[in-house]
């Protein structure tokens, strides 16, 4: 986390761009900013671990990293720049805060303030601080409710895990109904 005795607080733009040998990155604890295109086109990058100190991802930070399928974003993040996750295959974002915290993050760079603008429009966002409470009568899943359908968003956030929709979840709902 230090170079020549000085703390590393940012990763500069283009620092690891086109570095096709990186498969995993653990960002140092002092880093608050990852600048523009710092990890763009790291074709083999599969895993990124962000520190709790991270506040900002500039534009196109992880653009064109096709092996990224999930990420965990710390509650400390205040902005995610336009195109930060374009051309990735991120399906799941684990966010360490609540929906309210998430809504306060600046997404995009004025061009588009949306999940689409940062490249996370196909991802499910899991809010780790929002517990799931299932009470009798809360949910009804009809037979084949999702057959041939691809819902844009289903959120079943729990404290540290996501229940699988299917037999396990249905059996848990049935158990809850009996109580």
What tens digit of pLDDT does each residue of 149-167 get? 444 444 444 433 333 444 4
**DSSP codes, 98-145:** -HHHHHTSEESSSS--SHHHHT-TTPEEEETTS-----TTS----TTT
Distance CA(84)–CA(36), nearest Å, equals 8
Q: What is the percent of the chain with per-residue pLDDT over 70, rounded to a whole number?
A: 69
Average pLDDT, the chain: 77
Whole-model pTM: value is 0.71
**3 state SS of 177:** helix
**3 state SS of 161:** coil
Distance CA(31)–CA(27), nearest Å, equals 7
Query: How far apart, in Å, are the Cα atoms of 105 and each of 23, 28, 126?
Result: 27, 22, 15
Q: With 0-12 CB in 10 A as exposed, 13-18 as middle and 19+ as buried, what is 64?
A: buried
At 119, the pLDDT band (50, 70, 90 cuts) reads confident
Give the strand pairing for 47-49 and 92-95: unpaired
């Amino acid at each position: 986390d230090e170079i020549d005795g000085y703390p590393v607080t940012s990763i500069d733009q283009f620092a690891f761009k086109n570095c096709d040998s990186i498969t995993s990155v653990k960002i140092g604890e002092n880093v608050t900013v990852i600048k523009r295109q710092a990890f763009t086109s790291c074709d083999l990058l599969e895993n990124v671990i962000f520190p709790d100190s991270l506040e900002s991802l500039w534009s196109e930070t992880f653009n064109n990293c096709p092996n990224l399928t999930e990420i965990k974003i710390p509650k400390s993040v205040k902005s995610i720049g336009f195109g930060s996750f374009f051309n990735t295959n991120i399906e799941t974002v684990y966010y360490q805060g609540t929906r309210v915290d998430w809504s306060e993050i600046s997404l995009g760079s004025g061009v588009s303030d949306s999940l689409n603008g940062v490249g996370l429009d196909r991802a499910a966002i899991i809010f780790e601080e929002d517990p799931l409470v299932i009470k009798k009568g809360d949910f009804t899943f009809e037979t084949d409710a999702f057959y041939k359908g691809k819902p844009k968003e289903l959120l079943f956030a729990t404290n540290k895990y996501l229940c699988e929709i299917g037999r396990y979840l249905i059996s848990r709902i049935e158990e809850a109904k009996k109580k």
